[in-house]
Chain A
Amino acid sequence: MAGKALRGFFERLGNQVTSGVWQLGFAARFFGYMLLHSGTALRRFSLTIREIYFSGVLSLIIILVSGLFVGMVLGLQGYHTLERYGSSEALGVLVALSLVRELGPVVAGLLFASRAGSAITAEIGLMKATEQLSGMEMMAVDPIKRVLAPRFLGGVISMPLLAAIFSIVGIYGGYFVGVGLLGVDQGSYWSQMQSMVDFHDDVLNGIIKSVVFGIVATWIAVFEGYDAVPTSEGVSRATTRTVVHTSLAVLGLDFVLTALMYGVS
């Protein structure tokens, strides 16, 4: 009896592992296929522009508002901590470095996943559930070219721009709180920032991060939608999975990228 239960347990475990590995392989093959067809999406750019509108322009409000508040909180917290050491002039450096290096790409990536990624998954999943995708295949239209590649490209283009906007709005939010409300010197806010923030080490690495997060977030969103079980429950599960997986991937990759860029030793 116990032997049978144990066997059942190992069978289920093995099944889960194989299906997980299979799905990863499928996702990788899907990624390659989509990259191949991003060229077609570039040629039919009007489709991609529509997707930039949905994933970029419509995410702008949440990015602007949260960027502003993150910057303001950084300014407030940073000021009170720095003031203890008598170096509140370094507030600009603190705000700019934390936003440009980490918070800009990461928080923008998380917001992008929940705002745009979930919408992409739900849309593609519903298209699959209502058999629009198979209808396209019937009409000899490749749904990957027509539906998925433009969404992928739109997300990849939008994400770095959103992260840059997030960082800039945050820096001005920190400026508003630090200089406007708490009385940090305006000149030292900017000049210390400019002397300490390096273009290559900080700004460029932040942009690289946001590009990577954009690719990963949209890839997961498009894949989960394409892979969804075509029922209403399946679509809802796929949407949840998109948000969870993207958040984990962004946070995990952030560590890996930071370790690669700035070193762990």
Chain B
Amino acid sequence: MQVRTVEIWVGLFVATGFAALFLLAMQVSNLTTVTAGSSYLVKARFENIAGLKVRAPVTVAGVTVGRVTDISYDSDTYQAVVSMRIGSQYDKLPDDTSASVLTSGLVGEKYVGLEPGGDTEMLKNGSVIKLTQSSLVLENLIGKFLFNKASGGGK
């Protein structure tokens, strides 16, 4: 009897522990969003991606449809090459879709925003997005603003 109660308690404890591990994997981390279903690879070239990181979300109309999987530098064109995996249920993106590096909030994470075009051809595995818009670098923006201010003050 005594042994049985101990075993029941231990069983409950182990079950709780594994439930906690399961919750950590499913509820807390991104395990469900990363490995869900099949996907296709799309590349885009940017002049500047400052702050974009691997695993950043790829969104269309604000909905996450994929993740950035790799970022590399092309020394011939001096551009950043961003590879992203898009879930295969989102396969109706036109070939002339444009990509831009955006920021969520003022100090938030960078992400890739896709803007669908009007082509009848669709993006498929290995496609390259031609229309891209670079990340907004705050220093450049402030520099331009100050320059305008200074030249405007001369009048």
CB within 8 A of A168: which of B6, B12, B23, B108?
A: B23
Total contacting residues, chain B, CB less than 8 A: 32
A199 with B34, Cβ < 8 A, contacts A49-B6, A57-B13, A164-B21 known: yes
**Smallest CB–CB gap between A36 and chain B, Å?**
25
Interface range on chain A: under 10, 10 to 19, 20 to 34, or 35 or more? 35 or more
Query: A87 interface residue, CB < 8 Å from B?
Result: yes
Residue among A60, A87, A195, A206 with max Cβ neighbours from chain B (10 Å) = A195
Q: What DSSP secondary structure best describes chain A's contact surface? A: helix
Residue among B17, B107, B108 with max Cβ neighbours from chain A (10 Å) = B17
How many A-B contacts are there with CB distance less than 8 Å? 92
Query: B7 interface residue, CB < 8 Å from A?
Result: yes
CB within 8 A of B20: which of A46, A86, A165, A195?
A: A165
Query: B31 interface residue, CB < 8 Å from A?
Result: yes
Chain A, 196-228, CB within 8 A of any chain B CB: 196-199, 202-203, 206-207
Task: Give the residue name and chain of the B residue nearest to A60 (CB).
Answer: B13
Q: C-beta contact mask, B12-50 vs A, less than 8 Å → 1, else 0?
A: 111011101101110111111110000000000000000
Contact A203 B17 (CB under 8 A): no
Query: A81 interface residue, CB < 8 Å from B?
Result: no
Contact B29 A194 (CB under 8 A): yes
Contact A167 B13 (CB under 8 A): no
A53 with B9, Cβ < 8 A, contacts A162-B17, A167-B20 known: yes
A257 to B9 Cα, complex, angstroms: 33
Query: B55 interface residue, CB < 8 Å from A?
Result: yes
Contacts of B17 in A (CB 8 A): 56, 160-162, 164-165
A115 to B29 Cα, complex, angstroms: 30
Contact B30 A198 (CB under 8 A): yes
A166 to B88 Cα, complex, angstroms: 37
Contacts of B21 in A (CB 8 A): 161, 164, 207
Contact B28 A52 (CB under 8 A): no
Contact A168 B106 (CB under 8 A): no
Contact A161 B13 (CB under 8 A): yes
Query: A69 interface residue, CB < 8 Å from B?
Result: no
**Smallest CB–CB gap between A112 and chain B, Å?**
13
The 4 nearest A-B residue pairs measured at CB: A161-B17, A164-B20, A199-B31, A199-B29
The 26 sampled A-B contact pairs (Cβ below 8 Å) are: A49-B7, A50-B6, A53-B9, A57-B12, A57-B13, A85-B107, A87-B107, A87-B108, A161-B16, A161-B20, A161-B21, A164-B21, A165-B20, A167-B24, A167-B28, A169-B20, A190-B27, A193-B28, A194-B33, A196-B109, A198-B55, A199-B25, A199-B29, A199-B30, A199-B31, A206-B24
Known: A57-B10, A96-B28, A168-B23. 7 other contacts (CB 8 A): A53-B13, A56-B13, A56-B14, A161-B13, A197-B28, A199-B34, A203-B31
